[in-house]
Structure 1
Amino acid sequence: MKKILLISDTHSYIDAQILKFVKQADEVWHAGDIGDLNVTDTIKKLKPLRAVYGNIDHKEARLEFPLDAKFNIENTTVWMTHIGGYPTKYNQRIREELTKNTPKIFISGHSHILKVQYDKKLNLLHLNPGAAGIYGFHKIRTMLRFSIDKDAIKDLEIIELGERGK
């Protein structure tokens, strides 16, 4: 069993509140818009990290992290990308591939809107952790955490970090 912390849209921001939850996870997944690589460097010092770059990320992040991360963990297939859309409104770039090679979990960021939605048509769980950073239009900073046990997703929890500007 693996305990996962899923974050996105940090936009160069990391604080003790985020790091408290990083320390409790087995792995951290970052769904893009990292900003300053100090964010991912800090996380990597504490826990294994899987990340993708987002639309605000510069050359350094694009050299270190892929646009798409496709992997298996605990017998569960995962596809993480920054701009992916959500069930019935998937991004055109990934739509066809998503239907041909459907993962059990599809993760995207970008919208700054936390969303957990089951896609009955594709039989996958879509996760968007919202935004953990302080920049953007979101009102509450959010993350997700959950466990993966073989092929089961368990203990899914929304983490609210407080208001964006505070």
Structure 2
Amino acid sequence: MKIGLISDTHGLLRPEALAALQGCDHLVHAGDIGKLEILDALRAVAPLTVVRGNNDRDEQWAGVDLNHSLRLGEIGLYVTHEMADVPSPLPLGIDVVVTGHSHKPLEQWRDNVLFINPGSAGPRRFKLPITVALLQVDGRHRQVKFVALA
């Protein structure tokens, strides 16, 4: 199963991001979406799980969760925008934590849990890369690949 991870679009969904996410079985947007149209475009690619970020504040985002747990295949995912909002201890059955906010791609293992920040796919911030991530899941095996967009 291939899971596409995207975050911090801030109103800009690059064609390169959509191209990188093609063929995914599921997509996750880890917040700071910016425009509802972005969610529609992502849903046209694959089923979508989304959380709102610290910049998704007005009424249009009221129905979007701040965090979300889901099971895809044999793994449990926990999604929230900011690393500071990840609970400790994690809920039972969580194998992957997806966050955004920092705009910095991150792949880190902690006690057999894979923490991923796909980086920012939206407007460039400082000199940080513009990326999405692809999470390949085979049973309980998890492997992440970052895709540079610009």
In structure 2, the residue matched to 1:150 is: 139
Q: Give 1 or 2: higher strand fraction.
A: 1
Deviation string 1:32-88 (CA, Å, 9 cap, x unpaired) is 00011111111112221111100001321231x21111011111111010012xxxx
Instruction: List alignment gaps of at least 5 residues for structure 1.
Output: 85-90
* Pair 1:96 & 2:88 matched: yes
In structure 2, the residue matched to 1:35 is: 34
In structure 2, the residue matched to 1:88 is: none
Deviation string 1:107-136 (CA, Å, 9 cap, x unpaired) is 11000011100013xx31100011000153
Alignment RMSD: 1.7
* Pair 1:137 & 2:126 matched: yes
How many correspondences in the alignment? Answer: 149
Question: Could you tell me how far apart the structure 1 residues matched to 2:82 and 2:135 are?
Answer: 21
Would you say the 8 A contact 1:31–1:54 is kept in 2? yes
What amino acid is aligned across from residue 70 of structure 1 in structure 2?
Answer: S
* Pair 1:127 & 2:116 matched: yes
Query: Structure 2 length as normaliser, TM-score?
Result: 0.90
Query: Structure 1 length as normaliser, TM-score?
Result: 0.82
Instruction: List alignment gaps of at least 5 residues for structure 2.
Output: none
Alignment of structure 1 residues 60-75 onto 2, 5 Å: 60-63=60-63, 65-75=64-74
User: More deviation in 105-114 or 23-32?
Assistant: 23-32
Post-superposition shift, 1:102?
Answer: 5.8
Distance change in 2, residues 1:61/1:16 (3 Å): same
Bigger Rg over Cα: 1
Q: Give 1 or 2: higher helix fraction.
A: 1
Would you say the 8 A contact 1:131–1:138 is kept in 2? no
Post-superposition shift, 1:97?
Answer: 4.2
In structure 2, the residue matched to 1:59 is: 59
